[in-house]
Chains A and B, each alone.
Chain A
Amino acid sequence: MYEGVVQDLIDELGRLPGVGPKSAQRIAFHLLASDPQDIGRLREVLGKVAEGVRFCEICGNVSEGERCRICNDVRRDATSVCVVEEPKDVLAVERTREFRGRYHVLGGALDPLSGVGPDQLRIKELLMRIGSEEITEVIIATDPNTEGEATATYLVRMLRDFPGLTVTRLASGLPMGGDLEFADELTLGRALSGRRAL
């Protein structure tokens, strides 16, 4: 245990995902030795985050303004929507450069153990978009794990009554039990181009 604020810093860092006690200590001492300017920038960013990050009012992705860059981009295909769990999955799909449509971020997956049901996800918003926009294709790109698969099944059930809507799921080939974010670009790209209708 270190005295006072240094230990507080280590404790706070240690609460972050993927940071164990040892890394927390390493990061803390790195910060202590850092240039005051660097610390200043970090503080500024954290401050802005704390004031409230904005989410795109259409797709739910993190955004600087009311609408994100992708939803504002008229060159993107407005008839095709890729449904993902988290904003980080948008980045993963974007890296493949295989997809030219728009996104819908659910904000998670069905996960009864953590108390997440359909109400806690942006599913109503998705249904409203499909009802009002010119969407003709929905690609479900939830994670290939238990929760992601259940979410996909649920969405398929909700979407099958929309006339003329094609619903596809990313082709298998993604490692089962995995995380979309960690799939390499090639695999994810292939999964996108080989998506199957449901």
Chain B
Amino acid sequence: MYIRHLQVTDFRSWDHVDVPLEPGPTVLVGQNGRGKTNLLEAIGYVATLSSHRVATDAPLVRQGCERALVRTAVVNEDRELTVELEIAAGRANRARVNRGAVGRPRDVLGILRTVLFSPEDLALVRGDPGERRKFLDELLVQRAPRYAGVRSDYDKVLKQRNALLKSAGKKRGDDPYAASTLDVWDDHLAKAGAQLLAARLNLVADLAPHTGEAYAGVAPDSRPARIAYRSSLGEALPEGYGEPGGERADPERLAEVLRVALGESRAAELERGVSLVGPHRDELDLVLGDTPAKGYASHGESWSFALALRLGSYELLRGEAGGEPVLMLDDVFAELDKRRRARLAEVALGAEQVLVTAAVDEDVPAELTGVRFAVAEGEVTRD
């Protein structure tokens, strides 16, 4: 798929801008702070309904404005759909497809698929486990949009259950209803958690070979990179789950395993007032050779690992139904040595559409020819 047209109003630094786009490589060049990343962020928002830089919507709306508008015309196998999002801080967003309102913004997920690699991605390697869970869940939603609902159901059940654990823990067991209602929430947490967990495990099994290969491509002299899902279920996780070529994770079986684990940890959970098992406590291990990347990998290795996670995601998505994703590379060539640049340029050249940003032309590899836009104060002009 590719974006044929991008229109942005009152988004970040942009007052209003119209950018006609084409398949193949497009390079956006402009000085620091001119709004290049803002444009990619706007596109990414249409694909994921979230920003890769901030957790709330407020910073996305141009200062002094009430709402931001992002409109993209997306072409997927000769079919064009226009997705329009109205982002208002502190209020529900509104979405339109081909100018008709859709029930919920979530309904636009899947129309545009993107993979964005940006400087922020260093946090995938160096940040908290939450960063890596978010990485997996976002990729899951790109792969199958229904997981946006699964994820949000799980979060809601988890919050309710934690609230109950806190209040029941205080009362110390002399509440006859607490145990029976906790059973109910266990049941729902296990069901929703198993769906999310199974999907993540299968995702990691499918993604692992791609990331390994991508890492070897960008850093051929380095030790091999490996990713592995580490579940809070520990030994109780059925063998082979989450491993390439292993058994596919079955949500029904996992629900049963989760139910048992929740039962076993109930005393400890009442004591501490939080849920101790479930996908919200899991981790994606990143390993270089035989040491964890986090805390051990060099800057260059960490950077390459982050890049491999994104390129691996890209390869995975493009090999599946749903349309080849749009690749976005924000400011990344400057960080890479010559060889890695060349490798990344090669991948980019093979993409149906790739959007690249750079502060100066010298940062863009020469082989990456295509459309060039100059991004200046408040305008984007094609050369």
Contact = CB atoms under 8 A, between A and B. Distances in A.
Same complex = yes
Interface of A: 110-113, 115, 117-119, 145-147, 149-150, 153-154, 157, 175-177
A150 B188 contact: yes
Given A112-B167, A157-B183, A177-B152, A118 B188 contact: no
Contacts of B178: 117
A113 B188 contact: no
A111 B160 contact: yes
B149 A175 contact: no
Given A112-B164, A157-B184, A175-B103, 5 more contacts: A112-B185, A118-B180, A146-B188, A150-B160, A176-B153
B184 A153 contact: yes
B173 to A, nearest CB: 15
A119 B156 CA distance: 22
Contacts of B156: 145-146
Interface in B142-176: 149, 152-153, 156-157, 159-161, 163-164, 167
Nearest to B182: A112
29 contacts: A110-B160, A110-B184, A112-B161, A112-B163, A112-B164, A112-B167, A112-B181, A112-B185, A113-B159, A113-B163, A117-B164, A117-B181, A118-B181, A145-B156, A146-B153, A146-B156, A146-B160, A147-B160, A150-B160, A150-B185, A150-B188, A153-B184, A153-B187, A154-B180, A154-B184, A157-B180, A175-B103, A176-B153, A177-B152
Contact of B149 (A117, A119, A177): A177
A131 B177 CA distance: 20
A176 B149 contact: yes
Contacts of B152: 177
- Give the top 4 A-B pairs by smallest Cβ distance, nearest first: A112-B164, A112-B163, A146-B156, A113-B163
Nearest to B154: A146
Contacts of A110: 160, 181, 184
Contacts of A112: 160-161, 163-164, 167, 181, 185
Given A113-B159, A113-B160, A154 B181 contact: yes
Interface of B: 103, 149, 152-153, 156-157, 159-161, 163-164, 167, 177-178, 180-181, 183-185, 187-188
Contacts of A149: 188
Contacts of A177: 149, 152-153
Nearest to A115: B167
B177 A119 contact: yes
Contacts of A157: 180, 183-184
A150 B159 contact: no
A112 B161 CA distance: 7
A100 to B, nearest CB: 30
Contacts of B153: 146, 176-177
B149 A150 contact: no
A2 to B, nearest CB: 23
A118 B175 CA distance: 11
Nearest to A113: B163
B157 A146 contact: yes
Contacts of A146: 153, 156-157, 160, 188
Contacts of B103: 175
Contacts of B149: 176-177
A26 to B, nearest CB: 17
A147 B159 CA distance: 11
B184 A117 contact: no
Max count, chain A CB within 10 A of own CB: residue among B103, B159, B164: B164
Contact of B188 (A111, A115, A153): A153
Nearest to A118: B177
A186 B180 CA distance: 35
B78 to A, nearest CB: 31
A117 B178 CA distance: 8
Nearest to B106: A177
A121 to B, nearest CB: 11
Nearest to A151: B184
B187 A117 contact: no
B144 to A, nearest CB: 16
Max count, chain B CB within 10 A of own CB: residue among A113, A118, A119, A157: A113
A197 to B, nearest CB: 18
B72 to A, nearest CB: 25
Contacts of A117: 164, 177-178, 181
Nearest to A20: B91
A113 B158 CA distance: 11
A97 to B, nearest CB: 25
A177 B106 CA distance: 12
A118 B156 CA distance: 19
Contacts of B187: 153
A183 to B, nearest CB: 12
A111 B164 CA distance: 9
Max count, chain B CB within 10 A of own CB: residue among A110, A111, A145, A175: A110
Max count, chain B CB within 10 A of own CB: residue among A111, A112, A145, A154: A112
A174 to B, nearest CB: 13
Contacts of A147: 160
A145 B159 CA distance: 14
